[in-house]
Protein backbone atom coordinates (compact mmCIF):
# COMPACT_ATOMS: atom_id res chain seq x y z
CA UNK A 1 0.00 0.00 0.00
CA UNK A 2 1.30 3.44 -0.87
CA UNK A 3 1.99 6.35 1.42
CA UNK A 4 -1.01 8.27 0.09
CA UNK A 5 -3.40 5.37 0.74
CA UNK A 6 -2.02 4.96 4.28
CA UNK A 7 -2.46 8.65 4.94
CA UNK A 8 -6.05 8.58 3.66
CA UNK A 9 -6.93 5.53 5.78
CA UNK A 10 -5.32 7.10 8.86
CA UNK A 11 -7.20 10.36 8.29
CA UNK A 12 -10.51 8.49 7.88
CA UNK A 13 -9.92 6.59 11.11
CA UNK A 14 -9.12 9.79 12.99
CA UNK A 15 -12.28 11.48 11.68
CA UNK A 16 -14.41 8.43 12.54
CA UNK A 17 -13.04 8.24 16.08
CA UNK A 18 -13.50 12.00 16.53
CA UNK A 19 -17.18 11.82 15.48
CA UNK A 20 -17.87 8.95 17.87
CA UNK A 21 -16.36 10.62 20.94
CA UNK A 22 -16.37 14.37 20.24
CA UNK A 23 -18.39 17.13 18.59
CA UNK A 24 -18.08 20.85 17.90
CA UNK A 25 -20.39 23.64 19.08
CA UNK A 26 -20.51 27.28 18.01
CA UNK A 27 -21.43 30.07 20.40
CA UNK A 28 -24.01 32.48 19.08
CA UNK A 29 -25.19 35.43 21.08
CA UNK A 30 -23.80 36.84 24.29
CA UNK A 31 -25.62 34.80 26.94
CA UNK A 32 -22.42 33.04 28.07
CA UNK A 33 -20.23 36.16 28.40
CA UNK A 34 -17.71 36.58 29.94
CA UNK A 35 -16.86 32.86 29.69
CA UNK A 36 -17.57 32.43 25.97
CA UNK A 37 -18.19 35.02 23.27
CA UNK A 38 -20.10 35.16 19.98
CA UNK A 39 -18.27 33.08 17.39
CA UNK A 40 -16.28 30.92 19.82
CA UNK A 41 -15.85 27.32 18.71
CA UNK A 42 -16.05 24.72 21.48
CA UNK A 43 -14.94 21.10 21.71
CA UNK A 44 -17.56 18.80 23.23
CA UNK A 45 -17.15 15.30 24.59
CA UNK A 46 -20.06 12.95 24.00
CA UNK A 47 -19.39 10.42 26.73
CA UNK A 48 -20.16 10.60 30.45
CA UNK A 49 -23.04 12.12 32.37
CA UNK A 50 -23.00 15.89 32.79
CA UNK A 51 -22.85 17.15 36.37
CA UNK A 52 -23.99 20.36 38.05
CA UNK A 53 -21.65 23.15 37.05
CA UNK A 54 -20.73 21.59 33.69
CA UNK A 55 -21.22 23.66 30.58
CA UNK A 56 -23.08 21.77 27.88
CA UNK A 57 -24.37 22.21 24.37
CA UNK A 58 -27.99 21.13 24.08
CA UNK A 59 -30.65 21.12 21.39
CA UNK A 60 -33.75 23.02 22.53
CA UNK A 61 -36.74 21.81 20.54
CA UNK A 62 -38.91 24.83 21.41
CA UNK A 63 -36.27 27.19 20.01
CA UNK A 64 -35.20 24.82 17.19
CA UNK A 65 -31.49 25.43 17.77
CA UNK A 66 -28.59 24.52 20.03
CA UNK A 67 -27.61 26.50 23.11
CA UNK A 68 -24.49 26.49 25.27
CA UNK A 69 -25.35 26.86 28.97
CA UNK A 70 -24.22 25.81 32.45
CA UNK A 71 -26.09 23.08 34.35
CA UNK A 72 -27.48 24.72 37.47
CA UNK A 73 -29.58 21.82 38.76
CA UNK A 74 -30.11 18.12 38.17
CA UNK A 75 -32.11 15.19 39.56
CA UNK A 76 -33.61 15.83 42.98
CA UNK A 77 -32.76 19.54 43.12
CA UNK A 78 -35.52 22.01 43.99
CA UNK A 79 -35.58 25.06 41.71
CA UNK A 80 -37.71 28.11 42.43
CA UNK A 81 -38.16 30.90 39.93
CA UNK A 82 -39.66 34.10 41.30
CA UNK A 83 -39.64 37.83 40.75
CA UNK A 84 -36.98 38.15 43.46
CA UNK A 85 -34.63 35.78 41.69
CA UNK A 86 -33.69 32.17 41.13
CA UNK A 87 -33.31 29.74 44.03
CA UNK A 88 -31.62 26.33 44.16
CA UNK A 89 -32.59 24.15 47.12
CA UNK A 90 -33.75 27.27 48.99
CA UNK A 91 -30.60 29.32 48.39
CA UNK A 92 -30.69 32.35 46.07
CA UNK A 93 -28.31 31.76 43.18
CA UNK A 94 -29.32 34.67 40.97
CA UNK A 95 -31.11 37.91 41.62
CA UNK A 96 -33.63 39.26 39.17
CA UNK A 97 -31.93 41.27 36.51
CA UNK A 98 -33.16 44.47 34.92
CA UNK A 99 -33.51 43.05 31.42
CA UNK A 100 -36.04 40.41 32.42
CA UNK A 101 -37.37 41.81 35.69
CA UNK A 102 -40.54 43.38 34.29
CA UNK A 103 -41.47 40.19 32.43
CA UNK A 104 -40.95 38.19 35.62
CA UNK A 105 -43.39 40.42 37.53
CA UNK A 106 -46.12 38.93 35.37
CA UNK A 107 -45.08 35.37 36.18
CA UNK A 108 -46.10 33.56 39.30
CA UNK A 109 -43.58 31.94 41.59
CA UNK A 110 -42.79 28.47 40.28
CA UNK A 111 -41.17 25.69 42.28
CA UNK A 112 -40.35 22.22 41.12
CA UNK A 113 -38.13 19.26 41.91
CA UNK A 114 -36.17 17.96 38.96
CA UNK A 115 -37.03 14.39 37.99
CA UNK A 116 -34.39 11.84 36.90
CA UNK A 117 -32.47 12.65 33.72
CA UNK A 118 -33.53 16.31 33.67
CA UNK A 119 -31.33 19.42 33.81
CA UNK A 120 -31.98 23.09 34.52
CA UNK A 121 -29.68 25.26 32.39
CA UNK A 122 -28.66 28.86 32.95
CA UNK A 123 -26.56 31.36 31.02
CA UNK A 124 -23.64 33.26 32.51
CA UNK A 125 -24.97 36.62 31.27
CA UNK A 126 -28.38 36.31 32.85
CA UNK A 127 -29.65 39.68 31.70
CA UNK A 128 -29.91 38.42 28.12
CA UNK A 129 -29.89 34.64 28.51
CA UNK A 130 -32.68 32.49 27.14
CA UNK A 131 -32.32 29.50 29.42
CA UNK A 132 -34.40 27.07 31.49
CA UNK A 133 -36.17 30.02 33.09
CA UNK A 134 -37.73 30.47 29.66
CA UNK A 135 -37.79 27.04 27.97
CA UNK A 136 -37.93 24.85 31.09
CA UNK A 137 -35.86 21.82 32.00
CA UNK A 138 -34.26 19.68 29.34
CA UNK A 139 -33.94 15.93 29.14
CA UNK A 140 -30.70 14.00 29.05
CA UNK A 141 -31.28 13.19 25.37
CA UNK A 142 -31.16 16.92 24.47
CA UNK A 143 -27.55 17.23 25.65
CA UNK A 144 -25.17 17.04 22.66
CA UNK A 145 -22.04 17.08 24.79
CA UNK A 146 -20.07 18.53 27.67
CA UNK A 147 -17.80 21.47 26.87
CA UNK A 148 -14.16 20.39 27.13
CA UNK A 149 -12.47 23.57 25.93
CA UNK A 150 -12.64 26.55 23.62
CA UNK A 151 -10.86 25.78 20.35
CA UNK A 152 -11.01 29.22 18.73
pLDDT at 16 over 70: yes
User: How does pLDDT run across 37-60, given as a tens digit for each residue?
Assistant: 999 999 999 999 999 999 999 999
* pLDDT of 117: 93
pLDDT at 105 over 80: no
Confidence of residue 78 (pLDDT cuts 50, 70, 90): very high
* pLDDT of 109: 80
Please confirm whether the linkage preceding 34 is cis (ω < 30° from 0).
yes
Which helix (H) or strand (E) segment holds residue 113: the answer is: strand 110-113
Tell me the three state secondary structure of residue 148.
strand
The reported pTM is: 0.85
The CB density around residue 6, as the number of other CB atoms within 10 Å, is 10
Q: Which residues pair with 94 in a beta bridge?
A: 86
Task: Summarize the confidence of residues 75-79 as an average pLDDT.
Answer: 94
Can you tell me the distance from the alpha carbon of 76 to that of 48, in angstroms, rounded to the nearest whole number?
A: 19
Confidence of residue 97 (pLDDT cuts 50, 70, 90): low
106 vs 5, residue with greater confidence: 5
- Average pLDDT of every residue of the chain: 88
Task: Summarize the confidence of residues 60-81 as an average pLDDT.
Answer: 93
Q: Which of 131, 135, 110 is nearest to 122 (CA)?
A: 131
Percentage of the chain surpassing pLDDT 70? 91
The DSSP code for 134 is H
Backbone region of residue 15 per phi and psi (left: phi > 0; alpha: psi in -120 to 50; beta: other values): alpha
* pLDDT of 31: 92
pLDDT at 101 over 50: no
Confidence of residue 18 (pLDDT cuts 50, 70, 90): confident
Contacts of residue 106, Cβ cutoff 8 Å, sequence gap at least 6: none
Amino acid sequence: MGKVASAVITACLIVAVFHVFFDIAYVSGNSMEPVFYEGDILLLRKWGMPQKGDMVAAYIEELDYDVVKRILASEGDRVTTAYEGLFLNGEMVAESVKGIQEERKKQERQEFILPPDQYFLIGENQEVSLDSRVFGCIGKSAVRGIVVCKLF
